[in-house]
Amino acid sequence: MATDDNVIELRKVGTRFGNHVVHADLDLDVRRGEILAIAGGSGSGKSVLLREMILLHQPSSGSIRLFGDDLATLSETQTHALRQRWGVMFQKGGLFGALTVRANVSLPLREHSELDDTTIDEIAEWKLALTGLPPDASLKLPGELSGGMIKRAALARALALDPELLFLDEPTAGLDPASSAGVDELILSTHALYGLTVVMITHDLGLLWGVSHRVAVLGEGRVLAIGTMEELSHHEHPIVQAYFVDTRAGRPGAKEEVPAWKTR
């Protein structure tokens, strides 16, 4: 049953590759305005799920609704319109190496708007500034940027069309702790500025504790548990508990609170 409060609704989603069942009757709701993290072990199907939500892979069964639209029955016009309502930051940035950073950020605007080149360049520069990149980064090639700067440029591109929904695939993967902390802050400030709904795949305890409103833990083909980290700390499943035996949650930059379970 669709509700206005849910931006995404997955119902009984099944995904299989040959005999390999990745998701079996998976249900998940993403609420408007929340930052939802998707966690879970390697191979639990986080990336495939994200790909299914952005029309890059079709589930074997079940339904996925975005903004109330069933992804399986979209017309071409609806698909085009829907793609403008979300932005995606891929794990390795997904920037085109032969294009400058500004040209990369401009691409969605060139594809989806009728704006003139000067306006598009100005918007791209504004988005890059918003993500904290120095002005001289815009005319560089992605290969000339650090890992943290590439993430920022990729976020600027994901925000090019002022999306309502932002997908982040392991936004801090491969970053040193200081750069990760910068990305944590960036997600929080972007969320606050745009009032976005954010869905991110992450293993990063700093993001899970300090940035996410709720965390969905995938395992055994389904959402094993969903809730705040505090709520999940009481969950008994070993895959969920694995997130609570690691003391790296207190890494610098995480918005650290001592969880109740640690003080007992």
Ligand X SMILES: Nc1ncnc2c1ncn2[C@@H]1O[C@H](COP(=O)(O)OP(=O)(O)OP(=O)(O)O)[C@@H](O)[C@H]1O
The residues of the shown chain that bind ligand X, judged by CB under 6 A, are: 17, 22, 40, 42-48
Q: Which is nearer to ligand X, 42 or 118 (CB)?
A: 42
Question: Minimum distance between the CB of residue 52 and ligand X, rounded to whole angstroms?
Answer: 9
Q: Which is nearer to ligand X, 17 or 136 (CB)?
A: 17
Question: Minimum distance between the CB of residue 57 and ligand X, rounded to whole angstroms?
Answer: 7
Cβ–Cβ under 8 Å, residues 88 and 108: no
Question: Minimum distance between the CB of residue 98 and ligand X, rounded to whole angstroms?
Answer: 26
Structure tokens belonging to residue 248: 């790296």
Q: Which is nearer to ligand X, 20 or 264 (CB)?
A: 20
Q: Which is nearer to ligand X, 44 or 212 (CB)?
A: 44
Helix, strand, coil percentages, rounded to 5, for the chain: 40, 25, 35
Instruction: Please count the CA atoms within 13 angstroms of the CA of 116 that sit on its side-chain side.
Output: 1
Structure tokens belonging to residue 175: 């970053």
What counts of helices (H) and strands (E) characterise the chain?
Answer: 10, 10
DSSP letter assigned to residue 93:
B
Question: Minimum distance between the CB of residue 190 and ligand X, rounded to whole angstroms?
Answer: 23
Nearest to 14 by CA among 51, 59, 72: 59
